Every structure is written in structure tokens, then in C-alpha cells.
């Protein structure tokens, strides 16, 4: 390599580094929100971008500057690869299926080569590469973040409040009585105690899990690994439960022996914080540049007022993690670097297009407080109504002399093409009465026949991609 080439290579490296061409995106949302479908579609749209130039609102693509995109091996070799080809094969097979539910963290890396558009920089370097990393992890694990700011006693107090709401009480009364009768002072043989704790903890988890199965609700009282243990299934660190006796909570715990049941439980709680939650956030949270939170507003609208309230609380807690300036403890621990956050309502292919804005606005109202907190700290926040894989197309019909937009898709059971009107999507928060009167039904459609050679049909994925990574393609 002669001197000029060397200088050129060096200056390209410097430009790349200076412009920070790596972008790491965390895809977050509660179970079933559509994270895996989103990740699959995002990869698919990027891989097809240079071929089809179909992403109208993804500026580098619209300007025909995208040259090539390919999936590559990520550097963090201990993190499993996102199974893109498995997910795509499921979607495009003869009997198409949605990807399976995610149980662990995984990562995908896509390298996008593009022609530089910036009129100064392109004099030095004609083309460049953006490396996009996407992390898919169970949203439940993110909900453990607030636990880091609590000790065992304050967590127990928070649990009492949570467990005694009207509808949770029905599920947890039995185990609550058992826990209240637990002997916290006893000094038992370690093995016997471990066995006893496991028994009570199993029952505690089971009662809350059955509640959660019925209501898809999350709360502090059910730490993330209790729902999805991943590699920790059966590990003793998960064998803890809160103290529910008010009188015990008002005592000074210094008087308890180190090997008392209470101290052992406290140690397990602290171990969970130190060895499970903290490393998880250090590993996945610190290095994230951009975040997308997916919300399944359709199922909230179908499930009613309580689910709405629960999801609202959950999203607020979920986004608390982004309020960097306010939570100094979090800043000290991780100094996260997220500068853009997208909050998207998913599956809008189930909604006629003239109601997408109502859907977005309803979700916006639901997350307004959380969004405000985050935006306040200087993170750019945007909301959108999207569909990772569109299963329908809009059709105009007539109802009582009025034009009515509906969605047309394939009915799951019969395989027939059907037209569906889901009802009117509210554009603002509803009163209790309005919730009771709400008549809405988003019938899911089957996945239509898809081709491997074409990008997956979607709604506004190009706008999401532009928001998340568009600025990197200078
Ligand atoms: N109509 C429609 N349905 C979707 C779309 N995305 C997801 N779904 C539906 O939502 C279900 C859940 O989607 P996933 O992508 O598996 O959700 P997830 O957030 O990864 O869920 P977990 O892995 O269980 O945490 C799918 O099985 C589909 O039924 C979409 O764009 N349109
Ligand atoms: Mg998933």
C-alpha cells in the first residue's frame, strides 16, 4: 500500500469512528407485543432495501444510496444469534406461522453499505458502512430495573400493596396466609431451609403466574426471572418471596441472626439484584443507542379498563429506566446512552387505515406521562402506529349509505377471504362507562402467502427505520 492509500485508509477509519457508524437497537415490549415479528421484519426490510428500494421514508433508500445489506456475525460471541432464517421460514412456509415466543436474549447484526451523501464527506470517502445491531430480549426482564433501587424491606412493602388489589387478592390469598405464618426467626439446617424456601417460593410464583396468565399483567411482586427464568430455572437465587407481616417490617432487622430464615431470604434477594439484574443491565443496557418499545394496543382495547390501567403502569415503570437525569443511582450504575426512543403501537394492519391516527393517539395518551418523563431528559421520543407484517389490505364498503373503510384478510379457520370492521377505535382515554360500552373486536387474520424474494408487507416500517437509524447514513 503506498503512502496515499495508507493516508486514505486511515482517514476513512477516522471518519467512520468519528461519525460513529455502529448503532445498537434494543427491541422491547411485553410478551406478545410483537418484538420478534418486528425484528424479523426490520432485518428483512433492510436486506431487501438495496434490491427493491421500497422504503419510501427511509431516506438513504429513497435516494438510491443503499448499495448492499447483509447479515453478519456479531462481536459479542456469548450472545445467541437471532434466528432470522428460522423466523422467516416460518412466515413464508406453505402453512405460514408467526415466530415462536422468545425465551432468551438474542442479537442480530446487519452491515449496510451505502454511498455517502454529505457533500463534504463524500470528497474524502465515497461510500461507508453502518453496522446495525438489534437485540431482542424478554420485556419482563427489563421490568426488574426498579428493584435495583430497593432493599428487601422496601420491596416487601411494595409487594403488600400490589398483592392486595381486589383482583390479585383472589389469586394470592392462600399463599399470602402461608407467608404470613412463616417463621422468619428460625435457625434451621441450611439444606432443610433451602428446601422449605423453594417450596414456598414455588407456590408464590405459581399463584402470581396464574394471575398473570389470566390478565397478562406484570408487577414488582413478580420479578422478571420468576416469569422467564432463562438459564436460572431452579436456581436457589430465585427462591425468595416478600415479607408480608406488617409488624415484622416495622422491626429493626439487625437483631436477626445471619442464618435466620429472614436473613437468608434477604441474601437471596440481594444476590438476585447483584448477580442477575445488574449484569443484565450492564451487558444490554449501557451499550444501547436506540430503543423501540412495542405496545399491543389492540389487545388492551379488547381486554378493558383494568388491563389498560395495568399496562399504563407497566409502561411507565418500563420507561422509568430512561429517565436518566432523574435517577442518579441508575446513571451511576450504567450511564446509558440512548438518545432516541420510539414507542410504537403494533399490529395496526388489524385496523382500517382511517383509524390508524386514532390508534396512535389513544396509545399516546396512555403513555403520555411516561413519554413526558423521558423526553424531559433530552431523549428524542416519537410515537407511531405500525405493523411489522401486514396481514390485511384496506377496502372501502358502504354501510347505511355511508362510506366505511374496513380491512380484508384471510380468515384463520376457513382460509376464506373476509372483510372485517373492528369497530371505532377511541382516540383518547375512556371513562369507566365508556370502557364498558366499548364494542371492539380485532379479528386476527391468517398470514397471507408471502414470497422469499420480496420484502415482507408492512405498515410504516420505513418510517420506524428512518427514525431509528436514518441519521447514521450521512
Ligand atoms: N396482524 C399482526 N399480528 C402480529 C404482528 N406482529 C405480531 N403479531 C401477532 O402477535 C404475536 C406475538 O408476536 P411476537 O413477535 O412473537 O411477540 P413477542 O413480543 O416477540 O412475544 P414474546 O416472544 O412472547 O415475548 C404473533 O404470534 C402474531 O400473532 C403484525 O405485524 N400484524
Ligand atoms: Mg419474541
From the CA of 142, how far away is ligand 1's center (Å)?
18
Q: Nearest Cα to 298, choosing from 345, 357, 355, 343?
A: 345
E strand or H helix at 29: strand 22-29
Q: Nearest Cα to 313, choosing from 431, 428, 207, 218?
A: 218
Distance (Å, rounded) from C-alpha 462 to C-alpha 472? 15
Q: Are residues 159 and 230 in the same domain?
A: yes
Q: Whose CA is nearest to atom 32 of ligand 1?
A: 347
Distance (Å, rounded) from C-alpha 320 to C-alpha 145? 9
pTM of the model: 0.86
Q: Are residues 441 and 454 in the same domain?
A: no
CB 29 near ligand 1, within 6 Å: yes
Distance (Å, rounded) from C-alpha 208 to C-alpha 206? 5
Q: Whose CA is nearest to atom 9 of ligand 1?
A: 34
Using DSSP's 3-state secondary structure scheme, residue 411 falls into strand
Q: Is 431 exposed, middle or buried (0-12, 13-18, 19+ CB in 10 A)?
A: exposed
Query: What per-residue confidence (pLDDT) applies to 57?
Result: 96
Using DSSP's 3-state secondary structure scheme, residue 115 falls into strand
Q: Whose CA is nearest to atom 7 of ligand 1?
A: 34
Quote the number of domains for the chain: 3
431 in any annotated domain = no
Q: Are residues 441 and 466 in the same domain?
A: no
15 in any annotated domain = yes
CB 34 near ligand 1, within 6 Å: yes
Ligand 1 pocket check: which of 26, 27, 37 to mutate, most ligand atoms within 8 Å of Cβ?
Answer: 37
From the CA of 413, how far away is ligand 2's center (Å)?
24
- For residue 246, what are the domain limits? 151-279
CB 37 near ligand 1, within 6 Å: yes
Q: Which of 279, 294, 329 is the last residue of a domain?
A: 279
What is the position in ligand 1's atom list of the atom closest to the CA of 39? 15
13 in any annotated domain = yes
H-helix segments, 221-285 = 224-227, 246-249, 261-271, 278-284
CB 422 near ligand 1, within 6 Å: no
Q: Which of 224, 244, 279 is the last residue of a domain?
A: 279
Query: What per-residue confidence (pLDDT) applies to 259?
Result: 87
From the CA of 104, how far away is ligand 2's center (Å)?
9
For residue 387, give the DSSP letter: B
Q: Which of 279, 298, 315 is the last residue of a domain?
A: 279
330 in any annotated domain = yes
Q: Is the backbone of residue 425 left (phi > 0), alpha (psi -120 to 50) or beta?
A: beta
For the CA of 385, the nearest ligand = 1
CB 296 near ligand 1, within 6 Å: no
What is the position in ligand 1's atom list of the atom closest to the CA of 140? 25
201 in any annotated domain = yes
Using DSSP's 3-state secondary structure scheme, residue 173 falls into helix
292 in any annotated domain = yes
Q: Are residues 270 and 292 in the same domain?
A: no
For the CA of 33, the nearest ligand = 1
Residues in the chain: 474
Tens digit of pLDDT per residue, the chain (474 long)?
565 666 566 656 655 555 558 899 989 888 889 999 999 999 999 999 999 888 999 999 999 999 999 999 998 888 899 999 999 999 999 889 998 888 888 999 999 999 998 888 877 788 899 999 999 887 778 778 888 888 999 999 999 988 998 888 999 999 999 999 998 888 878 888 899 999 999 999 999 888 888 876 667 788 888 888 888 888 999 999 999 999 999 999 998 988 899 999 999 999 999 999 988 888 877 778 898 999 999 988 998 887 788 788 878 777 766 554 445 556 656 555 788 889 999 999 999 999 999 999 999 998 888 777 766 667 888 999 999 999 999 999 988 888 899 999 999 888 899 999 999 999 998 988 999 999 999 989 999 999 888 999 999 999 999 999 999 998
CB 224 near ligand 1, within 6 Å: no
Query: What per-residue confidence (pLDDT) applies to 324?
Result: 46
The answer to whether 305 and 431 have CB atoms below 8 angstroms apart is no
Distance (Å, rounded) from C-alpha 46 to C-alpha 58? 10
CB 389 near ligand 1, within 6 Å: yes
Q: Are residues 322 and 455 in the same domain?
A: yes
Q: Are residues 347 and 248 in the same domain?
A: no
pLDDT tens across 156-169, in order? 999 998 899 888 89
Ligand 1 pocket check: which of 31, 34, 108, 392 to mutate, most ligand atoms within 8 Å of Cβ?
Answer: 34
CB 40 near ligand 1, within 6 Å: no
Q: Whose CA is nearest to atom 3 of ligand 1?
A: 347
CB 350 near ligand 1, within 6 Å: yes
- Four-point Cα dihedral 346, 347, 351, 352, nearest 10: 90
98 in any annotated domain = yes
Q: Are residues 352 and 373 in the same domain?
A: yes
- 323: domain CATH number is 3.40.50.300
What is the position in ligand 1's atom list of the atom closest to the CA of 458? 31
CB 98 near ligand 1, within 6 Å: yes
Using DSSP's 3-state secondary structure scheme, residue 109 falls into strand
H-helix segments, 53-145 = 59-62, 84-92, 121-124, 139-142
Q: Are residues 455 and 332 in the same domain?
A: yes
First to last CA, the chain: 28
421 in any annotated domain = yes
Query: What per-residue confidence (pLDDT) applies to 376?
Result: 61
Contacts 24+ apart (CB under 8 A), 321-326: 321/142, 321/145, 321/285, 322/291, 322/373, 322/374, 322/377, 322/379, 323/373, 323/374, 323/376, 323/377, 324/377, 324/379, 325/376, 325/377, 325/378, 326/373, 326/377
What is the position in ligand 1's atom list of the atom closest to the CA of 138? 25
CB 33 near ligand 1, within 6 Å: yes
Q: Are residues 291 and 384 in the same domain?
A: yes
CB 128 near ligand 1, within 6 Å: no
Sign of torsion over alpha carbons 98, 213, 317, 295: positive
For the CA of 387, the nearest ligand = 1
Q: Are residues 100 and 172 in the same domain?
A: no
From the CA of 32, how far away is ligand 1's center (Å)?
5
Q: Are residues 115 and 190 in the same domain?
A: no
H-helix segments, 127-274 = 139-142, 152-163, 166-180, 190-215, 224-227, 246-249, 261-271
Q: Are residues 102 and 179 in the same domain?
A: no
From the CA of 35, how far away is ligand 1's center (Å)?
7
Maximum separation of any 2 CA atoms in the chain, in Å: 80
Amino acid at each position: 500500500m503506498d503512502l496515499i492509500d495508507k493516508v486514505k485508509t486511515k482517514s476513512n477509519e477516522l471518519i467512520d469512528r468519528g461519525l460513529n457508524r455502529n448503532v445498537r437497537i434494543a427491541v422491547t415490549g411485553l410478551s406478545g407485543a410483537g418484538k420478534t415479528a418486528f425484528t424479523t421484519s426490520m432485518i428483512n426490510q433492510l436486506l431487501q432495501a438495496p434490491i427493491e428500494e421500497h422504503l419510501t421514508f427511509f431516506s438513504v433508500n429513497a435516494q438510491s444510496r443503499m448499495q448492499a445489506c447483509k447479515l453478519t456475525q456479531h462481536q459479542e460471541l456469548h450472545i445467541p444469534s437471532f434466528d432470522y432464517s428460522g423466523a422467516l421460514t416460518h412466515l413464508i412456509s406453505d402453512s405460514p406461522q408467526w415466530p415462536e415466543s422468545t425465551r432468551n436474549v438474542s442479537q442480530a447484526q446487519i452491515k449496510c453499505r451505502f454511498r455517502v451523501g454529505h457533500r463534504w464527506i463524500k470528497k474524502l470517502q465515497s461510500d461507508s458502512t453502518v453496522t446495525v445491531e438489534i437485540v431482542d430480549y424478554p420485556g419482563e426482564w427489563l421490568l426488574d430495573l426498579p428493584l435495583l433501587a430497593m432493599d428487601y424491606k422496601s420491596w416487601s412493602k411494595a409487594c403488600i400493596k400490589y398483592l392486595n388489589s381486589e383482583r390479585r387478592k383472589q389469586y394470592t390469598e392462600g399463599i399470602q396466609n402461608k407467608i404470613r405464618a412463616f417463621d422468619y426467626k428460625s435457625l434451621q439446617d441450611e439444606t432443610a431451609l433451602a428446601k422449605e424456601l423453594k417450596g414456598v417460593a414455588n407456590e408464590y410464583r405459581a399463584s402470581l403466574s396464574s394471575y398473570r396468565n389470566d390478565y397478562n399483567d406484570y408487577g414488582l411482586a413478580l420479578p422478571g426471572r420468576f416469569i422467564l427464568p432463562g438459564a436460572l430455572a431452579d436456581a436457589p437465587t430465585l427462591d425468595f418471596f416478600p415479607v408480608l407481616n406488617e409488624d415484622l417490617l416495622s422491626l429493626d432487622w439487625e437483631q436477626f441472626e445471619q442464618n435466620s430464615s429472614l436473613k437468608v431470604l434477604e441474601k437471596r434477594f440481594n444476590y438476585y439484584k447483584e448477580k442477575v439484574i445488574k449484569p443484565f443491565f450492564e451487558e444490554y443496557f449501557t451499550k444501547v443507542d436506540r430503543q423501540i418499545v412495542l405496545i399491543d394496543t389492540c389487545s388492551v382495547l379488547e381486554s378493558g379498563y383494568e388491563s389498560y390501567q395495568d399496562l399504563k403502569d407497566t409502561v411507565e415503570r418500563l420507561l422509568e429506566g430512561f429517565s436518566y437525569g432523574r435517577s442518579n443511582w441508575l446513571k451511576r450504575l450504567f450511564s446509558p446512552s440512548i438518545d432516541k426512543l420510539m414507542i410504537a403501537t403494533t399490529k395496526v394492519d388489524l385496523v382500517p387505515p382511517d383509524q390508524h391516527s386514532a390508534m396512535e393517539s389513544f396509545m399516546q395518551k396512555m403513555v403520555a406521562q411516561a413519554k413526558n418523563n423521558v423526553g424531559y431528559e433530552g431523549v428524542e421520543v416519537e410515537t407511531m402506529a405500525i405493523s411489522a407484517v401486514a396481514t390485511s389490505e384496506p377496502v372501502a364498503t358502504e354501510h347505511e349509505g355511508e362510506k366505511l373503510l374496513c380491512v380484508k384478510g384471510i380468515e384463520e379457520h376457513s382460509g376464506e377471504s373476509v372483510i372485517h370492521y373492528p369497530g371505532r377505535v377511541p382516540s383518547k382515554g375512556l371513562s369507566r362507562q365508556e370502557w364498558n360500552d366499548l364494542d371492539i373486536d380485532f379479528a386476527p387474520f391468517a398470514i397471507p402467502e408471502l414470497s422469499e424474494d420480496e420484502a415482507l408487507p408492512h405498515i410504516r416500517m420505513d418510517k420506524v427505520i428512518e427514525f431509528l437509524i436514518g441519521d447514521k447514513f450521512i
